[in-house]
Amino acid sequence: MIEVIKPGLFTTVQDLGRWGYQRYGVGIAGALYPFALSAANLLVGNEENAAGLEITVQGPALKFHRETALAIAGADLDPRLDGQSIPNWACVLAPSGSTLSFGSRKKGVRAYLAVSGGIDVPLVMESRSTYLLGKFGGMEGRALKAKDLLPVGDPPSHFQNRVGIFFPEEFLPPYRRNPTLRVVLGPFDDFFSKEGIESFLSTPYSITAQSDRMGYRLQGTQITRQKKEELITCGLALGTIQVPPNGQPILLLVDRQTIGGYPVIATMIHADLPLVAQSTPGDELRFSAVSPDEGREAYIQLWGNLDKFKHSALSGQPSA
Protein backbone atom coordinates (compact mmCIF):
# COMPACT_ATOMS: atom_id res chain seq x y z
CA MET A 1 0.00 0.00 0.00
CA ILE A 2 0.89 3.68 -0.15
CA GLU A 3 0.79 5.75 3.03
CA VAL A 4 -0.12 9.43 2.75
CA ILE A 5 2.29 11.40 4.95
CA LYS A 6 1.15 14.78 3.63
CA PRO A 7 -1.83 15.14 1.29
CA GLY A 8 -0.61 18.09 -0.77
CA LEU A 9 -2.84 21.00 -1.69
CA PHE A 10 -5.48 18.99 -3.55
CA THR A 11 -4.79 15.36 -4.49
CA THR A 12 -7.48 12.95 -5.69
CA VAL A 13 -7.72 9.43 -7.06
CA GLN A 14 -8.73 9.52 -10.73
CA ASP A 15 -8.96 7.21 -13.72
CA LEU A 16 -10.34 8.10 -17.16
CA GLY A 17 -13.86 8.68 -15.88
CA ARG A 18 -17.26 7.21 -15.05
CA TRP A 19 -18.92 6.77 -18.42
CA GLY A 20 -22.52 5.76 -19.12
CA TYR A 21 -24.30 7.35 -16.15
CA GLN A 22 -24.96 10.93 -17.21
CA ARG A 23 -28.56 10.04 -18.02
CA TYR A 24 -28.96 9.46 -14.28
CA GLY A 25 -27.38 12.80 -13.44
CA VAL A 26 -24.00 11.30 -12.52
CA GLY A 27 -21.02 13.20 -13.85
CA ILE A 28 -18.05 11.57 -15.58
CA ALA A 29 -15.30 13.02 -13.34
CA GLY A 30 -11.90 11.44 -14.12
CA ALA A 31 -8.55 13.03 -14.89
CA LEU A 32 -8.72 16.61 -16.17
CA TYR A 33 -5.62 15.85 -18.25
CA PRO A 34 -6.34 12.28 -19.43
CA PHE A 35 -3.40 12.15 -21.84
CA ALA A 36 -0.93 12.58 -18.95
CA LEU A 37 -2.58 9.91 -16.80
CA SER A 38 -2.67 7.49 -19.75
CA ALA A 39 0.99 8.13 -20.54
CA ALA A 40 2.04 7.60 -16.89
CA ASN A 41 0.12 4.33 -16.77
CA LEU A 42 1.74 3.05 -19.96
CA LEU A 43 5.18 3.97 -18.61
CA VAL A 44 4.72 1.67 -15.59
CA GLY A 45 3.05 -1.15 -17.51
CA ASN A 46 -0.59 -0.54 -16.55
CA GLU A 47 -3.66 -0.33 -18.72
CA GLU A 48 -4.34 3.28 -19.68
CA ASN A 49 -7.46 3.48 -17.49
CA ALA A 50 -5.77 2.37 -14.25
CA ALA A 51 -6.41 4.73 -11.34
CA GLY A 52 -3.66 7.11 -10.33
CA LEU A 53 -3.37 10.38 -8.44
CA GLU A 54 -4.19 13.82 -9.81
CA ILE A 55 -1.89 16.26 -7.99
CA THR A 56 -2.65 19.97 -8.06
CA VAL A 57 -0.03 22.76 -7.60
CA GLN A 58 1.56 21.37 -4.41
CA GLY A 59 2.35 17.69 -4.25
CA PRO A 60 1.88 15.19 -1.43
CA ALA A 61 4.42 13.12 0.50
CA LEU A 62 3.83 9.39 -0.02
CA LYS A 63 5.55 6.37 1.51
CA PHE A 64 5.67 3.13 -0.49
CA HIS A 65 5.30 -0.02 1.58
CA ARG A 66 6.44 -2.30 -1.21
CA GLU A 67 8.71 -1.94 -4.22
CA THR A 68 6.95 -0.43 -7.20
CA ALA A 69 7.56 1.41 -10.43
CA LEU A 70 6.16 4.92 -10.66
CA ALA A 71 5.81 7.58 -13.30
CA ILE A 72 4.78 11.23 -13.04
CA ALA A 73 3.41 13.04 -16.08
CA GLY A 74 2.03 16.52 -16.63
CA ALA A 75 3.12 19.52 -14.58
CA ASP A 76 6.66 19.71 -13.23
CA LEU A 77 6.15 19.98 -9.48
CA ASP A 78 9.77 19.07 -8.68
CA PRO A 79 9.28 15.38 -7.74
CA ARG A 80 11.84 13.77 -5.43
CA LEU A 81 12.35 10.18 -4.28
CA ASP A 82 14.03 10.02 -0.88
CA GLY A 83 15.11 13.60 -1.44
CA GLN A 84 16.70 13.00 -4.86
CA SER A 85 15.18 14.66 -7.92
CA ILE A 86 13.53 12.32 -10.41
CA PRO A 87 12.39 13.13 -13.95
CA ASN A 88 8.88 13.67 -15.21
CA TRP A 89 7.50 11.48 -18.00
CA ALA A 90 9.75 8.56 -17.01
CA CYS A 91 9.47 5.21 -15.24
CA VAL A 92 11.35 5.16 -11.91
CA LEU A 93 11.85 2.33 -9.42
CA ALA A 94 10.63 3.14 -5.90
CA PRO A 95 12.08 0.70 -3.32
CA SER A 96 10.01 -0.53 -0.41
CA GLY A 97 10.12 2.09 2.35
CA SER A 98 10.97 4.98 0.02
CA THR A 99 9.16 8.33 0.12
CA LEU A 100 8.02 10.44 -2.81
CA SER A 101 7.79 14.19 -2.15
CA PHE A 102 7.60 17.38 -4.18
CA GLY A 103 9.38 20.71 -4.05
CA SER A 104 8.23 23.99 -5.57
CA ARG A 105 6.07 24.16 -8.67
CA LYS A 106 8.22 24.75 -11.74
CA LYS A 107 5.82 24.48 -14.65
CA GLY A 108 2.14 23.75 -15.01
CA VAL A 109 -0.58 23.01 -12.47
CA ARG A 110 -1.59 19.33 -12.52
CA ALA A 111 0.64 16.26 -12.39
CA TYR A 112 -0.40 12.61 -12.53
CA LEU A 113 1.19 9.78 -10.56
CA ALA A 114 0.84 6.19 -11.75
CA VAL A 115 2.20 3.17 -9.87
CA SER A 116 2.49 -0.39 -11.16
CA GLY A 117 -0.80 -2.14 -10.45
CA GLY A 118 -2.77 1.09 -10.11
CA ILE A 119 -4.52 2.58 -7.09
CA ASP A 120 -6.94 -0.21 -6.15
CA VAL A 121 -9.78 1.65 -4.44
CA PRO A 122 -13.26 0.10 -4.95
CA LEU A 123 -15.08 0.51 -8.23
CA VAL A 124 -18.19 2.70 -8.05
CA MET A 125 -20.28 2.58 -11.21
CA GLU A 126 -17.37 0.98 -13.07
CA SER A 127 -14.86 3.69 -12.15
CA ARG A 128 -12.42 4.49 -9.34
CA SER A 129 -12.54 8.23 -10.02
CA THR A 130 -13.31 10.67 -7.21
CA TYR A 131 -16.59 12.46 -7.91
CA LEU A 132 -16.40 15.39 -5.54
CA LEU A 133 -19.95 16.67 -6.08
CA GLY A 134 -21.43 13.25 -5.39
CA LYS A 135 -18.95 12.49 -2.58
CA PHE A 136 -18.20 8.99 -3.83
CA GLY A 137 -15.41 7.16 -5.63
CA GLY A 138 -11.68 7.37 -4.91
CA MET A 139 -11.03 7.77 -1.18
CA GLU A 140 -14.55 8.25 0.18
CA GLY A 141 -15.36 10.82 -2.48
CA ARG A 142 -12.84 13.37 -1.20
CA ALA A 143 -9.31 14.64 -1.61
CA LEU A 144 -6.55 12.75 0.19
CA LYS A 145 -5.70 13.51 3.79
CA ALA A 146 -2.78 12.59 6.03
CA LYS A 147 -2.68 8.96 7.24
CA ASP A 148 -4.79 7.67 4.34
CA LEU A 149 -3.68 4.22 3.16
CA LEU A 150 -4.03 3.71 -0.59
CA PRO A 151 -4.33 0.09 -1.71
CA VAL A 152 -2.34 -0.88 -4.78
CA GLY A 153 -3.26 -3.62 -7.26
CA ASP A 154 -1.03 -6.51 -8.25
CA PRO A 155 1.76 -5.11 -10.42
CA PRO A 156 2.45 -6.44 -13.91
CA SER A 157 5.07 -9.20 -13.79
CA HIS A 158 7.40 -7.18 -16.02
CA PHE A 159 7.21 -3.83 -14.25
CA GLN A 160 10.94 -3.76 -13.28
CA ASN A 161 11.82 -4.02 -16.96
CA ARG A 162 10.17 -0.69 -17.64
CA VAL A 163 12.41 1.30 -15.30
CA GLY A 164 14.34 3.93 -17.26
CA ILE A 165 11.81 4.28 -20.09
CA PHE A 166 11.03 7.88 -21.03
CA PHE A 167 8.02 9.20 -22.87
CA PRO A 168 9.41 10.82 -26.04
CA GLU A 169 9.59 14.60 -25.85
CA GLU A 170 8.33 14.99 -29.41
CA PHE A 171 5.06 13.29 -28.40
CA LEU A 172 4.35 15.61 -25.46
CA PRO A 173 1.28 17.88 -25.72
CA PRO A 174 2.03 21.59 -25.97
CA TYR A 175 2.08 23.72 -22.84
CA ARG A 176 2.16 27.50 -22.62
CA ARG A 177 0.81 30.14 -20.29
CA ASN A 178 -2.15 32.24 -21.42
CA PRO A 179 -3.05 29.85 -24.26
CA THR A 180 -5.43 30.25 -27.17
CA LEU A 181 -8.02 27.48 -27.08
CA ARG A 182 -9.66 26.22 -30.24
CA VAL A 183 -13.45 26.06 -30.14
CA VAL A 184 -16.32 24.97 -32.36
CA LEU A 185 -19.04 27.64 -32.31
CA GLY A 186 -22.61 26.71 -31.42
CA PRO A 187 -25.04 25.17 -30.97
CA PHE A 188 -26.65 28.35 -29.63
CA ASP A 189 -24.40 31.04 -31.08
CA ASP A 190 -27.53 32.59 -32.61
CA PHE A 191 -28.43 33.74 -29.06
CA PHE A 192 -25.51 36.16 -29.16
CA SER A 193 -25.00 39.41 -31.00
CA LYS A 194 -22.40 39.77 -33.72
CA GLU A 195 -20.45 42.05 -31.38
CA GLY A 196 -20.70 39.48 -28.58
CA ILE A 197 -19.21 36.71 -30.71
CA GLU A 198 -16.48 39.07 -31.96
CA SER A 199 -15.58 39.91 -28.35
CA PHE A 200 -15.49 36.23 -27.44
CA LEU A 201 -13.08 35.47 -30.29
CA SER A 202 -10.86 38.56 -30.05
CA THR A 203 -10.35 39.48 -26.39
CA PRO A 204 -8.71 37.67 -23.44
CA TYR A 205 -10.65 36.21 -20.51
CA SER A 206 -9.02 35.75 -17.11
CA ILE A 207 -9.56 32.60 -15.04
CA THR A 208 -11.10 33.76 -11.77
CA ALA A 209 -10.57 32.35 -8.29
CA GLN A 210 -14.09 30.84 -8.50
CA SER A 211 -12.74 28.00 -10.65
CA ASP A 212 -12.25 24.29 -10.03
CA ARG A 213 -12.61 20.89 -11.71
CA MET A 214 -16.29 21.64 -12.33
CA GLY A 215 -15.46 24.63 -14.49
CA TYR A 216 -13.48 27.82 -14.96
CA ARG A 217 -15.42 31.03 -14.41
CA LEU A 218 -13.94 33.64 -16.73
CA GLN A 219 -13.86 37.42 -16.56
CA GLY A 220 -13.46 39.75 -19.52
CA THR A 221 -15.36 41.68 -22.15
CA GLN A 222 -19.09 41.08 -21.75
CA ILE A 223 -20.57 38.77 -24.37
CA THR A 224 -23.77 40.53 -25.44
CA ARG A 225 -26.88 38.75 -26.62
CA GLN A 226 -29.60 39.29 -29.20
CA LYS A 227 -32.02 36.80 -27.62
CA LYS A 228 -33.03 37.35 -24.00
CA GLU A 229 -34.83 34.11 -23.25
CA GLU A 230 -33.13 31.13 -21.60
CA LEU A 231 -33.12 27.51 -22.69
CA ILE A 232 -35.26 24.99 -20.85
CA THR A 233 -32.23 22.72 -20.55
CA CYS A 234 -29.64 20.90 -22.63
CA GLY A 235 -26.94 18.30 -22.14
CA LEU A 236 -23.45 19.55 -21.31
CA ALA A 237 -20.25 18.17 -22.79
CA LEU A 238 -16.66 18.48 -21.63
CA GLY A 239 -15.42 21.84 -22.86
CA THR A 240 -18.88 23.40 -23.16
CA ILE A 241 -18.74 27.20 -22.80
CA GLN A 242 -21.92 28.58 -21.28
CA VAL A 243 -22.76 32.27 -21.06
CA PRO A 244 -25.01 33.26 -18.14
CA PRO A 245 -26.97 36.57 -18.13
CA ASN A 246 -23.96 38.56 -16.87
CA GLY A 247 -22.14 37.85 -20.16
CA GLN A 248 -19.11 36.24 -18.49
CA PRO A 249 -18.37 32.76 -19.92
CA ILE A 250 -17.98 29.54 -17.96
CA LEU A 251 -15.78 26.77 -19.38
CA LEU A 252 -17.15 23.46 -18.09
CA LEU A 253 -14.76 20.67 -17.16
CA VAL A 254 -14.78 17.09 -15.88
CA ASP A 255 -16.84 17.58 -12.69
CA ARG A 256 -19.52 19.61 -14.51
CA GLN A 257 -23.24 19.09 -14.03
CA THR A 258 -24.88 16.94 -16.69
CA ILE A 259 -27.53 19.45 -17.90
CA GLY A 260 -27.94 23.22 -17.84
CA GLY A 261 -30.01 26.09 -19.18
CA TYR A 262 -27.50 28.81 -20.08
CA PRO A 263 -26.98 29.13 -23.86
CA VAL A 264 -23.80 27.55 -25.19
CA ILE A 265 -21.70 29.80 -27.39
CA ALA A 266 -19.05 27.19 -28.24
CA THR A 267 -17.30 24.00 -27.18
CA MET A 268 -13.54 23.71 -26.73
CA ILE A 269 -11.94 20.93 -28.74
CA HIS A 270 -10.66 18.10 -26.56
CA ALA A 271 -7.16 18.24 -28.04
CA ASP A 272 -6.69 21.47 -26.05
CA LEU A 273 -7.47 19.90 -22.67
CA PRO A 274 -3.72 19.77 -21.82
CA LEU A 275 -3.60 23.56 -22.11
CA VAL A 276 -6.63 24.02 -19.86
CA ALA A 277 -5.42 21.50 -17.28
CA GLN A 278 -2.19 23.44 -16.83
CA SER A 279 -3.85 26.85 -16.50
CA THR A 280 -4.66 28.41 -13.15
CA PRO A 281 -6.58 31.39 -11.72
CA GLY A 282 -4.95 34.59 -12.95
CA ASP A 283 -4.01 33.11 -16.32
CA GLU A 284 -5.71 34.43 -19.45
CA LEU A 285 -7.47 32.37 -22.10
CA ARG A 286 -8.25 33.35 -25.67
CA PHE A 287 -10.53 31.53 -28.08
CA SER A 288 -10.19 30.76 -31.78
CA ALA A 289 -12.94 29.22 -33.92
CA VAL A 290 -12.19 26.05 -35.89
CA SER A 291 -14.34 23.56 -37.78
CA PRO A 292 -15.48 20.22 -36.31
CA ASP A 293 -13.16 18.47 -38.76
CA GLU A 294 -10.16 20.49 -37.55
CA GLY A 295 -11.02 19.63 -33.96
CA ARG A 296 -11.33 15.96 -34.81
CA GLU A 297 -8.00 15.91 -36.65
CA ALA A 298 -6.21 17.59 -33.73
CA TYR A 299 -7.65 15.03 -31.30
CA ILE A 300 -6.59 12.11 -33.50
CA GLN A 301 -3.08 13.55 -33.79
CA LEU A 302 -2.74 14.04 -30.01
CA TRP A 303 -3.85 10.54 -29.07
CA GLY A 304 -2.05 9.06 -32.05
CA ASN A 305 1.20 10.07 -30.34
CA LEU A 306 0.17 8.00 -27.32
CA ASP A 307 -0.50 5.02 -29.60
CA LYS A 308 2.91 5.43 -31.21
CA PHE A 309 4.55 5.29 -27.80
CA LYS A 310 2.46 2.29 -26.78
CA HIS A 311 3.58 0.31 -29.83
CA SER A 312 7.23 1.31 -29.46
CA ALA A 313 7.24 0.50 -25.71
CA LEU A 314 5.66 -2.89 -26.26
CA SER A 315 8.23 -3.69 -28.93
CA GLY A 316 11.03 -2.77 -26.51
CA GLN A 317 12.14 0.21 -28.60
CA PRO A 318 10.89 3.33 -26.76
CA SER A 319 12.62 6.65 -27.22
CA ALA A 320 14.82 7.68 -24.34
Q: What are the backbone dihedrals phi and psi of residue 187, each rounded to the nearest 5 degrees, phi first?
A: -85, -5
Instruction: Based on the fold, state whether residues 132 and 210 are members of the same structural domain.
Output: no
**195 band by pLDDT with thresholds 50, 70 and 90:** very high
Q: With beta carbons less than 8 A apart as the criterion, state whether 251 and 218 touch.
A: yes
pLDDT over 70 for what percent of the chain? 98
**Any domain includes 307:** no
Instruction: Based on the fold, state whether residues 90 and 112 are members of the same structural domain.
Output: yes
**231 band by pLDDT with thresholds 50, 70 and 90:** confident
Number of domains present in the structure of the chain: 2
Considering 123, 138, 167, which residue would you say is the last residue of a domain? Answer: 167
CA angle 138, 68, 42 (to 5 degrees): 70
Q: Which residues pair with 217 in a beta bridge?
A: 250
Instruction: Based on the fold, state whether residues 205 and 154 are members of the same structural domain.
Output: no
**Any domain includes 220:** yes
Mean pLDDT, residues 93-118: 96
Instruction: Based on the fold, state whether residues 10 and 154 are members of the same structural domain.
Output: yes
Instruction: Based on the fold, state whether residues 25 and 144 are members of the same structural domain.
Output: yes
* DSSP code for 296: H
Instruction: Based on the fold, state whether residues 113 and 135 are members of the same structural domain.
Output: yes
**Any domain includes 240:** yes
| Residues spanned by the domain of 271 | 180-289
- Rounded Cα distance between 272 and 299, Å, is 8
300-320 residue pLDDT tens: 999 999 999 988 765 554 443
111-147 residue pLDDT tens: 999 999 999 999 999 999 999 989 999 999 999 999 9
Instruction: Based on the fold, state whether residues 202 and 133 are members of the same structural domain.
Output: no
Q: What is the mean pLDDT of the chain?
A: 94
Mean pLDDT, residues 21-36: 95
- Rounded Cα distance between 60 and 253, Å, is 24
